[in-house]
A and B are shown apart, each in its own frame.
Chain A
Amino acid sequence: MVVTHEQIKPGEIHDPIVNDFAFTVATKNGSGSQTSNLVLIRSLFKMGIPVNGKNLFPSNIKGLPTWYTIRVSKDGYTARRATTEIAIAMNEATAQQDIENLPSGGVCILPQEWKWTHNRDDIAYYEIPVKETIKQFDIPTERREQVGNMVYVGAVAQLFDIPLDIVHQGLFDQFGGKEKPTKMNYNIIEAAYKWTAENIQKQDPYHFAPLDMTNGKILITGNEAGALGSIFGGVTVAAWYPITPSTSLIDSMLDYRNLRKDPETGEHTVAVIQAEDEIAAIGMVVGAGWAGARAMTSTSGPGISLMSEFAGLAYFAEIPAVIWDITRVGPSTGLPTRTSQGDILFAHFLGHGDTKQVCLLPGSVAECFEFGWRAFDIAEKLQTPVFVISDLDLGMNLWMSDPFEYPDEPLDRGKTLTTENFQQFYDEHGEWFRFRDYDNDGIPYRTLPGTDHPFAAYFTRGTGHDEFAVYSERSEDWVKNMKRLRKKLETGKSFLPKPVVDTAASNTVGIISFGTNDPAVQEARDWLASKGMGTNYLRLRALPVTGEVLDFVRNHERVYVIENNFDGQLHQILRMEIPEDTRHLKSLALGDGLPMTPNWIYDNILEQERQ
């Protein structure tokens, strides 16, 4: 159901609202508040309450406003909510707006020392002494600002019922089991908790209460999941250039690569190379992939722009590569710290000339892990670049998930001839030519440099070539090669993750979406169902689109294509792929830089359906 709050006056008697609300912490960037927010999330998670955190941060090191929203949902929903009921206003510069944004019946927690004027009578104000609390403890000057953020943790714990021992556990975990910082921060939390208990009269209905809905679950970001998946996928070369919001994927890989470090020598089995730019990063990936490595890079939109020439080369020269795009808002530098699905069209066709790239579209942290390893198999089986298109919301925010499933298939190196099996191939066929279609599936056999056989070498080039890998400007050779590449891509469709389809409800209204819109779509579908409008849903997980998608489009009277970019890019791709009339394919494209809300989907589908 859509949650609309009735006019609730603070202090009036009303039914408690338990485990179904959201709160936003407004602070200054670089003040260290992230630690406090993560402690809160971990504590709620430990209480067994489904929780999701979203960080709305500026492109800035220190000083600009930042907001962190935590949603708890007894129903397990994890989408961003259109409104949050509680504001923890710790940044004076944005406090007025933060308070204005509260719904009637909301709560504002703010520092007592501001002596803030209470200009709303439909919300509760709780003023807590931030400075005074810190003063009680001997804290080094440079730590004071960060530790000060623990004051609101204590207040929140007391006001909305998070047991202190659980907060302590959350804190301990957040500090990686280190006693000293845990103690210093816990002292503040405890003091703030006590002060709040003694001095604040609760006037709101919001409560956390223990549930058992997070048992066995994990809390992780998509970038960590992607890095972990890559490690389990046998990545051997990762070349990259720092860019928000993809950097944390490689940062995580620097941690996880220790899982594969030789325990005796300390030698690494994956090279993580910070390149001089994204062009060099993908150049290294292409060189490594050509030489037989499982090579990847991770970047965001501006990096994808720079990589286009190499992406075209790798596509045409048939070199496996994995490219993660943690999408942010473009064009240009755009909104570098806001989320988007705006690269899908560009990535799918990245490269000049006739290029069609394979893209995987993870919709959860579990899929970030799965596609992390699977992408290498697909890239090597198809001998082509594979783009994994995540986004800032999935990549950088914490998501609940079941623990990841161990890969259920061994590494698949594709049609790669080695020193061991080259002679066998040669004996069977009486020849080996790099770009000859021996199996009539468009996928040729490749050899790697270092293959010790007099006939194993070939010359790789981005220029026109025949099936012998020899330079050719003949039109016939060019067209024959392009046809084989097209056939290869058709073969490849069977290797790609299939869409997740739910056709239980209706054959009237269908929804197609992908990636991080999933939680918002799922919630909106529940709301629509409660209004008597059942919807079917296809969540796309890969490009190029496959037959299942076309069937889904054909089998519904109206299909809404929901995506978080301005131009409706997936809608455009689908219209390109479907030869017949597609007027029943309706675009619902947002692209405002924020994770999608169920409210937006619900409102828009209802409005269109009324017409």
Chain B
Amino acid sequence: MARTNVIGLERSDYKGRPSTLCPGCGHDSISNQIISMAFDLGIERHRIIKLSGIGCSSKTPAYFLGGSHGFNAIHGRMPSVATGALIANRELRAIAVSGDGDTGSIGLGQFKHLIRRNIPIVYIIENNGVYGLTKGQFSATADEGQNLKYYGKNELPPIDLALEAVAGGCTFVARSFSGDAKQVQALLKAAINHHGTAVLDIISPCVTFNNAETSTKSYPYGKEHEEPLHDIHFIMPQEEITVDYEEGETITVDLHDGSHIQLKKLERDYDPRNRESAIILLEQAQREHLFLTGLLYYEEPRPTLVETEHLSKTPLITLDETQLRPSADVLTEVMNRYK
């Protein structure tokens, strides 16, 4: 009999429809980690909404959490749809999947404003530096100087979406590699418990159009060059924090719901709780072509939009007619003001 989680569901209960992406696509690996994360954490499927824009990455919400409502919106404009849905029902938790075209070009504005409003959402960018569905154009995250079959040399510098997120005031910014399942999994678990926008920029190779080892978005390059900043462990609220590392070797970040992220230092002495260091690190990574992964930046979350807007604690969609329609006497009183 298959293993069940704390709410009695099997891992297969968190699956979606079969993927139609290319065999070996990095995105499928991320979908699998989302399934595992939801299973491990015992997430109630009806409390999750899955959202996406347009592109290969944006097809994936159909391939995980079939028991959750999903919305494949329009190109680059999923953040506004997510914003509306989460204002309407503040009890929902959202997993959004986007790509580097969807977020880095057409949707850059909405991406920045999603962060600015601190919409509570796991915002995954499946970043492969290339447009897949339209057959291999450069995206805005493509390497400068890179060559592609039909489009020649890319003369423009890449947009670093993690850096954009930090600059935009995002309180949870991570970079990962779809080939590093364990890290993706730990980051997803932390991200879904974050009180605000959590951006995961996950390098997710396109095996069809951008997997040459010279590309920094390829499997061979990632496997060779990935430098995790730390080992990440996600600790559930009810779990005890066991310290089996030397003092000073770990950083523990307390999340809003009582869970924790434990970061064990590796070669670099990096504390993600400092915005200036995060920016310096990302600048250095870009300059020196370093593929640094892990939790790049974390800060105590700001209030989310429903809080800054002082909205009803009861989700707006559950308000009833007596709360939504003032009485006839109120209308009469308003009419008297205009007489």
Binding site for B on A (CB under 8 A): 216-220, 228, 231-234, 236-237, 239, 256, 259-260, 262, 265-273, 275-277, 279-295, 309-310, 313, 373, 403-404, 406-407, 410-411, 447-454, 456-463, 470-471
Q: How many residues of B contact A (CB 8 A)?
A: 60
**Which residues on A sit within 8 Å (CB–CB) of B319?**
234, 236, 269
* Distance in angstroms between the alpha carbons of A292 and B90 in the assembled complex: 12
B309 contacts A by Cβ under 8 Å: yes
Determine if B324 and A460 form an interchain contact, defined as CB atoms under 8 angstroms apart: no
Determine if A459 and B61 form an interchain contact, defined as CB atoms under 8 angstroms apart: yes
Determine if A279 and B61 form an interchain contact, defined as CB atoms under 8 angstroms apart: no
**Which residues on B sit within 8 Å (CB–CB) of A459?**
61-62, 69-72
Contact with A along B18-60 (1 / 0, CB 8 A): 0000000000000000000000000011110101000000000
* Distance in angstroms between the alpha carbons of A295 and B80 in the assembled complex: 13
Known: A276-B110, A313-B74. A288 touches B85 (CB 8 A): yes
B139 CB, nearest partner CB in chain A, Å? 20
Partner of A236, one of B62, B78, B324, B330: B324
Known: A218-B335, A462-B74. A268 touches B84 (CB 8 A): no
Determine if B83 and A283 form an interchain contact, defined as CB atoms under 8 angstroms apart: yes
Partner of B331, one of A260, A275, A406, A471: A406
A266-B310, A279-B110, A459-B71 known; 10 other A-B pairs, CB under 8 Å?
A: A234-B324, A234-B325, A236-B316, A260-B324, A265-B313, A287-B82, A287-B88, A411-B324, A457-B70, A458-B70
- Minimum CB distance partner of A271 in chain B: B87
**Which residues on B sit within 8 Å (CB–CB) of A471?**
62
* Distance in angstroms between the alpha carbons of A598 and B142 in the assembled complex: 63
Known: A267-B313, A269-B319, A271-B309. A460 touches B72 (CB 8 A): yes
A159 CB, nearest partner CB in chain B, Å? 27
B81 contacts A by Cβ under 8 Å: yes
**Which residues on A sit within 8 Å (CB–CB) of B316?**
236-237, 269-271, 293
B241 contacts A by Cβ under 8 Å: no
* Distance in angstroms between the alpha carbons of A461 and B60 in the assembled complex: 12
B301 CB, nearest partner CB in chain A, Å? 19
- Minimum CB distance partner of A277 in chain B: B109
Known: A285-B84, A293-B87, A459-B61. A218 touches B67 (CB 8 A): no
A321 CB, nearest partner CB in chain B, Å? 10
* The 3 nearest A-B residue pairs measured at CB: A283-B80, A287-B84, A234-B324
**Which residues on B sit within 8 Å (CB–CB) of A309?**
74, 77
**Which residues on B sit within 8 Å (CB–CB) of A272?**
309
Most buried by A among B68, B81, B86, B315: B81
Interface of chain B residues 281 through 339 with chain A (CB within 8 A): 305-306, 309-313, 315-317, 319, 321, 323-326, 328, 330-332, 334-335, 338-339
- Minimum CB distance partner of A215 in chain B: B339
**Which residues on B sit within 8 Å (CB–CB) of A456?**
46
Known: A259-B334, A457-B67. A291 touches B325 (CB 8 A): no
A269 CB, nearest partner CB in chain B, Å? 5
**Which residues on A sit within 8 Å (CB–CB) of B331?**
232, 403-404, 406
A50 CB, nearest partner CB in chain B, Å? 14
B91 contacts A by Cβ under 8 Å: yes
* Distance in angstroms between the alpha carbons of A460 and B69 in the assembled complex: 8
Known: A262-B312, A269-B319, A276-B110. A460 touches B84 (CB 8 A): no
- Minimum CB distance partner of B315 in chain A: A450
**Which residues on B sit within 8 Å (CB–CB) of A373?**
325
Known: A232-B326, A280-B110, A283-B83. A403 touches B69 (CB 8 A): no
Determine if B70 and A286 form an interchain contact, defined as CB atoms under 8 angstroms apart: no
Known: A291-B89, A293-B84. A449 touches B69 (CB 8 A): yes
Partner of B81, one of A277, A287, A403: A287
B225 contacts A by Cβ under 8 Å: no
**Which residues on A sit within 8 Å (CB–CB) of B328?**
406
A562 CB, nearest partner CB in chain B, Å? 29
* Distance in angstroms between the alpha carbons of A451 and B318 in the assembled complex: 11
Can you list 21 residue pairs at the A/B interface with Cβ under 8 Å? A232-B331, A256-B334, A267-B311, A267-B313, A268-B312, A276-B110, A280-B83, A287-B51, A287-B82, A287-B88, A289-B88, A290-B81, A293-B87, A403-B335, A407-B325, A411-B325, A447-B69, A450-B46, A450-B315, A458-B70, A462-B74
* Distance in angstroms between the alpha carbons of A582 and B303 in the assembled complex: 60
A386 CB, nearest partner CB in chain B, Å? 17
B66 contacts A by Cβ under 8 Å: yes
Determine if B46 and A310 form an interchain contact, defined as CB atoms under 8 angstroms apart: no
Determine if B326 and A259 form an interchain contact, defined as CB atoms under 8 angstroms apart: yes
* Distance in angstroms between the alpha carbons of A313 and B317 in the assembled complex: 22
- Minimum CB distance partner of B65 in chain A: A457
B7 CB, nearest partner CB in chain A, Å? 12
B113 contacts A by Cβ under 8 Å: yes
B153 contacts A by Cβ under 8 Å: no
Known: A218-B335, A275-B80, A284-B80. A457 touches B17 (CB 8 A): no
- Minimum CB distance partner of A410 in chain B: B321
Determine if B310 and A268 form an interchain contact, defined as CB atoms under 8 angstroms apart: yes
**Which residues on B sit within 8 Å (CB–CB) of A286?**
73, 80-81, 84
Determine if A290 and B71 form an interchain contact, defined as CB atoms under 8 angstroms apart: yes
B235 CB, nearest partner CB in chain A, Å? 28
Interface of chain B residues 73 through 116 with chain A (CB within 8 A): 73-74, 77-89, 91-92, 109-110, 113
**Which residues on A sit within 8 Å (CB–CB) of B89?**
291-293, 448-450
Partner of B69, one of A219, A271, A454, A457: A457
Determine if B71 and A287 form an interchain contact, defined as CB atoms under 8 angstroms apart: yes
* Distance in angstroms between the alpha carbons of A220 and B335 in the assembled complex: 9
**Which residues on B sit within 8 Å (CB–CB) of A457?**
45-46, 66-70
- Minimum CB distance partner of B109 in chain A: A276
